[in-house]
Structure 1
Amino acid sequence: MSKSISTAPEADNPLDLEEELQARVAWHYYVGNLTQQEIAERIGSNRARVNRLLAASRESGLVQVTINSRIAPCVALEEALMKRYGLERAIVVPEGVDRDTTQAALGIGAANFLSKELRAGQTVGLGWGRTIRATLRAMPHRSYGPLAVVSLQGGLPHCPSINTFDIVSDFADLCQADGFLFAAPIYVSSQKARDIILQEDAVRETYERARHADLAVLTCGDLTESLVVTYGISSPEQRRAIEAAGAVGDMLGHFMDEYGEPIDHPLNRRTVAVSLADLRSIQRVVLVSGGEQKYDATRAALRGGYPSVLVTDERTAQRLCAEPEASAAVAAGAKHGRRTR
């Protein structure tokens, strides 16, 4: 097992004092092999602060960790997932101690996969969410040749943590790609308004580019803490109505039932995003999703036949592999036009 740590900042982006301290602490810990107590004494602080600085450096992407080893139980689960759900590839990472560390682990797993799969000339469609942000934070900063990156969905007028526009621009910066944005909100007032927006030249061109992406990278959301639910749905009543209609989660803002089918609800007809039917036609779809809260949505996405590649955590993989009806659900999905492998 080895670690590859990058703590070097952009040459033309001067460090602030906090970032400089994070880099110094990370260097002593990962390169200098000092203990946290030794680092605390060196910087005149305490172990608790050193621990927080190390966590912040990983969260911000200042430190990127690559572990060049495969864990046998995870490999076995990968094989089982591929067989059961007809996947081209599965990547299983160890579960973290909490949601944030699990997201970080998923991001590292997805980034390692993508960094090997990106090719010059590709168009990459990007979804949105905290897990996709974690993926970008783990991605190496380098060029893959001419790439295009396009958002798979519209954005939110208010989202203080992250938005679809940030995801595309960050990926474009990391991979030196051309970025294309959905210049529209993810939810509009009516189906008629959605249809009109999608006829606008700029939006239609982005939509067509997204529908014909070579590779799509996305996550799915639950009905409690996903960004779409938190910032995109106007009222608790609407959330309850979506759940009453059978929704277990969403992908690209489209709410789906336990078998991955879009629910019959007006909100789904007002969504400005690549449709779930279009998603099935994209050659390679990478779903990055894990954690207990996302289990139902992750299972629904697999039952719906959307991903060809799954990146998930060990406990979620164990539960998915224990599903007795999973294979039958995937087989039944073929008659709905789902991809087969």
Structure 2
Amino acid sequence: MVKVCKMYYYESWTQEKIAEKIGVSRPVISKMLQRARDEGIIEIVINDDDQEISILEKEIEQVFKLKQVLVVPTKDLNKELLSRAVGKAAAQFVLKLIKNGDRIGVSWGNTLYHMVREFPLEKKENVKIIPLVGGTGNHRNEMHSNQIAYELSKKLGGTCDTLYAPAVVETAELKDQICLLPNIAQVLREGEQIDLALVGIGNPFSLSTMERSGYLNEQLMTELKELDIVADINSRFIKQDGSVSRHPINHRVIGLSLDHLQQINTVVGMAFGLHKIDCIMAALSGQFINMLITDEATARTIIEYHKKKPFGTD
């Protein structure tokens, strides 16, 4: 009975689908759900927390001088449902920002992957998606910027570019040579002219997309920690105070620079989870984003963090 209730209320399965799954008729499932309510296994509570969430969004906007903030209510959701809820809310938020004729840049990472996965099919006229950082290989391809650009372009009925290069190469000299190749140079120039940027905010030391993609090893992460680095945006590393690190790896990245990112009119930063608190704070301190999408628990912790150490202080 509990399993049926979870499928119906948590995972939004229909009664027909549940019945087929466990091999009974739909009326049996209906009676089981009613019995669960009668016996107190299910308690239906309506929480009108829209106003509370709205107040939290406005507070973050005012404190950090952001254009807009989306806080996703995620109380009592497990990891899988949390990712889906944030992805779905982010998709609806971003869809409202996109206009016909827009050029949209995308980075990579877990949150962008879930956003594109939940993105509705809604055609926009003359929309183009541009990857903002390279990404090649056979591991976690679905999170790479090229794949995210391709999938988003399909959902919007638009076109996309492909950046045929790794995110990070072995030397700065090799990076300069690759960036001179005509196809690469063209995509990088396109990235500098976008109307809207959608970027993930990564934690190099916890659930890191860059580590899982093979761009970070143990020695490199030790070096980054020693330099007070807490986050990566567009595969470039930033320090706790929001300054861009001088570590050599930042000179080996193929993609839009953070200086260019700051010049884009609308930059939506996406990150959720308490392991992203320092990352988000660093991105805000460096003013690399002017819109933020995150979950409720992370948003509340950001405000608590601010009250202990007001934004803009050392």
Calculate the TM-score normalised by the size of structure 2: 0.82
Identity, in percent, stands at 22
Amino acid paired to 1:316: T
Matched, 1:152 2:132: yes
Amino acid paired to 2:120: P
CA distance in 1, matches of 2:24, 2:147: 37
Deviation at 1:39, TM superposition (A): 6.2
Alpha-carbon spacing, 1:270–1:76, altered in 2? closer, same or farther (3 Å): same
Alpha-carbon spacing, 1:232–1:276, altered in 2? closer, same or farther (3 Å): farther
Deviation at 1:242, TM superposition (A): 1.3
Deviation at 1:276, TM superposition (A): 1.1
* Matched position secondary structure for 2:184: helix
- The alignment covers a number of residue pairs equal to 282
Deviation at 1:232, TM superposition (A): 3.2
User: Deviation per CA, 1:132-159, whole angstroms, max 9, x where unpaired?
Assistant: 0110122111211110100010003232
Per the alignment, residue 263 of structure 1 pairs with 245
Deviation at 1:91, TM superposition (A): 0.5
Matched, 1:327 2:306: no
Amino acid paired to 1:168: A
Per the alignment, residue 230 of structure 1 pairs with 212
Matched, 1:278 2:257: no
CA distance in 2, matches of 1:183, 1:192: 18
Amino acid paired to 1:160: R
Per the alignment, residue 98 of structure 2 pairs with 118
CA distance in 1, matches of 2:194, 2:180: 19
Alpha-carbon spacing, 1:31–1:98, altered in 2? closer, same or farther (3 Å): closer
Per the alignment, residue 79 of structure 1 pairs with 58
Matched, 1:134 2:114: yes
Deviation at 1:207, TM superposition (A): 0.6
Choose which of 165, 176, 186 in structure 1 pairs with 2:167. 186
Amino acid paired to 2:234: L
Per the alignment, residue 290 of structure 1 pairs with 272
Q: What residue ranges of structure 1 are gaps of 5+ in the alignment?
A: 1-24, 48-68, 333-341
Amino acid paired to 1:183: Y
Choose which of 198, 213, 220 in structure 2 pairs with 1:217. 198
Alpha-carbon spacing, 1:114–1:305, altered in 2? closer, same or farther (3 Å): same
Amino acid paired to 1:245: L
Matched, 1:310 2:310: no
Deviation at 1:101, TM superposition (A): 2.6
CA distance in 2, matches of 1:303, 1:113: 23
Work out whether residues 215 and 285 of structure 1, in 8 Å CA contact, stay in contact via their aligned partners in 2: yes
User: Deviation per CA, 1:252-277, whole angstroms, max 9, x where unpaired?
Assistant: 11011112222121111101111111
CA distance in 2, matches of 1:104, 1:170: 17
- Greater shift, 94-103 or 263-272, is seen at 94-103
Amino acid paired to 1:110: A
Amino acid paired to 1:125: G
Alpha-carbon spacing, 1:136–1:70, altered in 2? closer, same or farther (3 Å): farther
Amino acid paired to 1:182: L
Per the alignment, residue 98 of structure 1 pairs with 78
* Matched position secondary structure for 1:169: helix
CA distance in 1, matches of 2:126, 2:162: 17
Alpha-carbon spacing, 1:43–1:224, altered in 2? closer, same or farther (3 Å): farther
Q: What residue ranges of structure 2 are gaps of 5+ in the alignment?
A: 1-6, 30-47
* Matched position secondary structure for 2:229: coil
Deviation at 1:298, TM superposition (A): 1.2
Work out whether residues 133 and 167 of structure 1, in 8 Å CA contact, stay in contact via their aligned partners in 2: yes
Work out whether residues 287 and 307 of structure 1, in 8 Å CA contact, stay in contact via their aligned partners in 2: yes
- Greater shift, 31-40 or 101-110, is seen at 31-40
Choose which of 202, 206, 227 in structure 1 pairs with 2:183. 202
CA distance in 1, matches of 2:218, 2:292: 31
CA distance in 2, matches of 1:131, 1:70: 24
Amino acid paired to 2:71: V
CA distance in 2, matches of 1:328, 1:234: 30
Deviation at 1:199, TM superposition (A): 1.6
Q: What pairs up with 1:22-101 in 2 under 5 angstroms?
A: 36=18, 40-42=22-24, 71-95=50-74, 97-101=77-81
Alpha-carbon spacing, 1:138–1:326, altered in 2? closer, same or farther (3 Å): farther
* Matched position secondary structure for 1:248: strand
CA distance in 1, matches of 2:216, 2:92: 37
CA distance in 2, matches of 1:99, 1:265: 33
* Aligned-CA RMSD value: 2.6
User: Deviation per CA, 1:274-307, whole angstroms, max 9, x where unpaired?
Assistant: 1111111010001111101111111111111111
User: Deviation per CA, 1:38-93, whole angstroms, max 9, x where unpaired?
Assistant: 8634379x99xxxxxxxxxxxxxxxxxxxxx9722211110001000101000001
Work out whether residues 128 and 218 of structure 1, in 8 Å CA contact, stay in contact via their aligned partners in 2: yes
Calculate the TM-score normalised by the size of structure 1: 0.76
